[in-house]
């Protein structure tokens, strides 16, 4: 796993992460070990906090993209991990 993050002096943040899954094995229905596919996923995120929060509140706009290349990730035979996903929103905490 390799991650690179950047934070702007005014508070904006962005980053990317590369997640590599190397050689792994799983058993099939006959109980034999079978090699799983090697995979590389790329994840990205960005956020922007609004500095004019009221009192103790801190609102933030964000977006995250997981597995943006839609790589096949197989943690177990016949059970692939989720593909590409994007999440965006507005978060406020106080």
Both tokens assigned to 66: 């997981």
Look-up: residue for tokens 């790329």?
A: 42
pLDDT in tens, 3-28: 999 999 888 999 999 999 999 999 88
CB contact at 8 A, 57 and 94: yes
Confidence of residue 55 (pLDDT cuts 50, 70, 90): low
Mean pLDDT for 30-51 is: 92
Q: What's the Cα-to-Cα distance from 54 to each of 8, 48, 57, 58, rounded to whole Å?
A: 22, 16, 6, 8
Tell me what pLDDT residue 52 has.
64
């Amino acid at each position: 796993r390799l991650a690179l993050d950047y934070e702007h002096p005014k508070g904006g943040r962005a980053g990317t992460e590369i997640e590599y899954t190397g050689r792994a094995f799983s058993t099939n229905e006959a109980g034999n070990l079978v090699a799983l596919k090697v995979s590389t996923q790329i994840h990205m995120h960005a956020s922007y906090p609004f500095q004019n929060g009221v009192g103790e509140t801190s609102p933030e706009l964000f977006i995250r993209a997981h597995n943006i290349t839609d790589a096949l990730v197989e943690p177990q035979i016949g059970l692939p991990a989720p593909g590409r996903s994007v999440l965006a929103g507005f978060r406020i905490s106080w």
